[in-house]
Amino acid sequence: MKIDTFELERRQSLWENTVEYNLTESGIHPFTISELLDDSQIERLLNLRLGYGQTNGSIELRDSISKLYPDASQDNIFTTNGSAEANFVSIWINLNPNDELVLMLPNYMQIWGIARSFGVNVKPFHLKEELQWQPDMDEIQKLISPKTKMIAVCNPNNPTGSIMTNSNMEELIDIANESSAWILSDEVYRGAELDGKEITSFYGKYDKTIAVGGLSKAYSLPGIRMGWLVAPEEIAEKVWSYHDYTTISPSVISQQIATWALEPNTRQKILTRNRKMLNENLSVFQNWLDKRKHLFDFIPQEAGAMSFVRYHFDMNSTILTERLRKEKSLLIVAGDCFGMDNYLRLGIGSEKEYLLKGLQRLEEGLEEFVNV
């Protein structure tokens, strides 16, 4: 089996800890344990017995996750080590060589790479900038064939931060239903909507849905590596037998912290803090862009901490970001990582002063590299 290099993750893994300013993150400034937990919870954590725990996730945790989805129970939930593992096993259990996967682009390219390595025929459809980063539903319909087994979306989307309209969601469900295809919906940015209105999950709207979530992005807890999928019971059960061949189980420490994080009051505290930070930082970034309208086009994200901008000068995005890394110790994501040159993805979820200093480095680089 040959697998494509995951360019985004490779570049981040190589360089994110070597630069002074890392604006590649699509999540929000992470919590410390003392910021998240009270003294009694920390004490309980210190006395936690470090065994394996229940390999599909503790009953308490799965029950908490199930409350985020309509008509779901703990039996519909399977916990994983990050949402990336949930995406992986969802492809692994459902698709075979020569099956067809209709995939939203631009996107976090994990599903693209995994499916292609399994011999799946990946047929992309594209979010359109002229449609405010919405899909052209006619394009999707034309891609469907008797071999289509799954339609995969990222909603809210990475890298654009767009949210599918309700009408487009309903039309996608109709298309999937007509072809008896699964919908795989990566919803890891659900909860990070800037207007505070949490989007509706695909789960609960269509029987053949697998929705993926986790605590890395909207919840600012990437370090505990807690993800999950919600699916029909027979799929959650099937995933378990495949999961035995991957990571076996999430850590008991992560499961306990995740359970506390999803308590209603704590969850609300987390999401409120993060939305406030995102709105403040988006204002900072928009003000920075407003002074450079001749260089950039930008449709502000509706959710998430990533801003996807198109630039109007003649330099390849990989070359630009490599020069910024080497000469300005600034890391940002090249549009090439999404197959879209002349775009940049900037993470705006850091502390405000850090973001401002990172933007200053970007400004210095633009002045030197492209004479603007």
| pLDDT tens-place string over residues 84-113 | 999 999 999 999 999 999 999 999 999 999
Report the b/e string of 55-67 with b at 16+ CB within 10 A: ebbbebbbbbbbe
292 and 354 share one domain: yes
- Give the HSE-up count for residue 63: Cα atoms under 13 Å, Cβ half-sphere: 6
The answer on 172 and 112 residing in a single domain is yes
Q: Pick from 264, 298, 328: which residue ends a domain?
A: 264
Which tokens sit at 282?
Answer: 């988006």
Last residue of a domain, one of 264, 297, 332: 264
- 20 and 88 share one domain: no
Query: Is the model's pLDDT at 371 over the cut of 80?
Result: no
- Please report whether residue 38 resides in a domain: no
Residue 346, beta-bridge partner list: 307
Residues 324 and 210 in one domain: no
Select from 253, 185, 192, 244 the least CA-distant residue to 217. Answer: 192
Same domain flag for 252 and 290: no
Check if the beta carbon of residue 179 is closer than 8 Å to that of residue 211: no
305 compared with 7, residue with greater pLDDT: 305
Q: Are strands 182-186 and 209-214 parallel, antiparallel or unpaired?
A: parallel
Q: Which of 302, 187, 316, 237 is nearest to 62 (CA)?
A: 237
* Residue at 355 is within a domain: yes
- Cα angle, residue 213 at apex, residues 209 and 214 outer, rounded to 5°: 160
CA–CA dist 82, 360 (Å, integer): 33
Q: Where are the alpha helices (DSSP H) in 22-81?
A: 33-36, 39-46, 59-66
Please, what sign has the CA dihedral across residues 121, 110, 158, 129? negative
For residues 207-212, average pLDDT: 98
Q: Please list the residues that pair with 127 across neighbouring strands.
A: 135
| 155 and 208 in a common domain | yes
* Contact partners, residue 39, CB within 8 Å, separation at least 6: none
Q: What single-letter amino acid sits at 123?
A: K
- Beta strand 296-298 pairing with 226-230: unpaired
Contact 214, 53 (CB under 8 A): no
Q: How far apart are CA 18 and CA 22, in angstroms?
A: 9
Taking only the tens place, the pLDDT of each residue in 240-296 is 999 999 999 999 999 999 999 999 999 999 999 999 999 999 999 999 999 999 999
Q: Determine the pLDDT at residue 7.
A: 86
Residue 160 within any structural domain of the chain: yes
Q: What is the rounded end-to-end Cα distance, in angstroms, of the chain? A: 46
**Hey, what are 315's tokens?**
């330099």
Instruction: Say whether pLDDT at 190 is over 90.
Output: yes
Element (H, E) at 126: strand 121-128
Residue that terminates a domain, selected from 242, 264, 286: 264
Same domain for 16 and 82? no
Q: How many CB atoms lie within 10 A of CB 312?
A: 13
Q: Supply the range of the domain harboring residue 274.
A: 7-32+267-364
190-196 mean pLDDT: 98
Tell me the C-alpha distance between 43 and 40, whole Å: 5
Determine what percent of the chain is predicted with pLDDT higher than 90: 95
Q: What is the CATH number of the domain that holds 146?
A: 3.40.640.10
How do beta strands 21-22 and 333-334 pair? unpaired
Residue 370 confidence class, pLDDT cut points 50, 70, 90: confident
Pair of tokens at residue 109: 């390219």
Q: How confident is the model at residue 297 (pLDDT cuts 50, 70, 90)?
A: very high
Q: Is residue 328 part of a domain?
A: yes
Asked if pLDDT for residue 1 goes beyond 80, the answer is no
Q: Are residues 79 and 22 in the same domain?
A: no
Q: Are both 324 and 177 inside the same structural domain?
A: no
Same-domain check for residues 64 and 211: yes
pLDDT class of 2 with cuts at 50, 70, 90 = confident
Number of structural domains, the chain?
2
Q: Is residue 1 one of the residues assigned to a domain? A: no
CATH number of residue 321's parent domain: 3.90.1150.10
210 and 143 share one domain = yes
Q: Are 256 and 295 found together in one domain?
A: no
Residue 334 predicted with pLDDT over 90: yes
Residues 206 and 183 sit within 8 Å (Cβ to Cβ): yes
Give the pLDDT band of residue 372 (cuts 50, 70, 90).
low
Rounded mean pLDDT of 28-54?
96
What mean pLDDT is predicted for residues 65-83? 98
Phi, psi angle pair for 207, to nearest 5°: -60, -35
CA–CA distance, 208 with 204 (Å, rounded to integer): 9
Average pLDDT across the chain, whole number: 97
pLDDT tens per residue across span 134-154? 999 999 999 999 999 999 999
